[in-house]
Amino acid sequence: MCLGIPGKVIEVYERDGTKMGKVEFGKIKREVCLSFTPDAKPGDYVIVHVGFAISILNEKEAMEIFKTFKEISRIEDEISN
């Protein structure tokens, strides 16, 4: 039940005063409640749990981590060569 997977917001709207949106997970589209991520906008990636987005993924931080990954690979390569 705790399947927190990232999906892409493709539409944002309001229903009965609650912020909702359509989120795409690969080929599947689902309606998701966005009331905990009021800043979510189309194009953002969100983590969704039981029908609610709980965070907007931070692209800058996501890029940072790849720098670390690359660095680690490089250092380990150097050590083993």
Which letter does DSSP use for residue 2 in this model? -
Q: Does 28 bind another protein (CB under 8 A)?
A: no
Q: What CA–CA distances, in Å, run from 17 to 12, 33, 34, 35, 54?
A: 13, 11, 11, 10, 19
Min dist CB 28 to another protein, Å, is: 11
Distance CA 38, CA 76 (A): 42
Which of 9, 21, 23, 37 touches another protein (CB under 8 A)? 37
Interface residues toward another protein, by CB under 8 A: 1-6, 8, 16-18, 25-26, 33, 35-38, 45, 47, 49-52, 54-55, 57-59, 61-62, 64-66, 68-70, 72-73, 75-77, 79-80
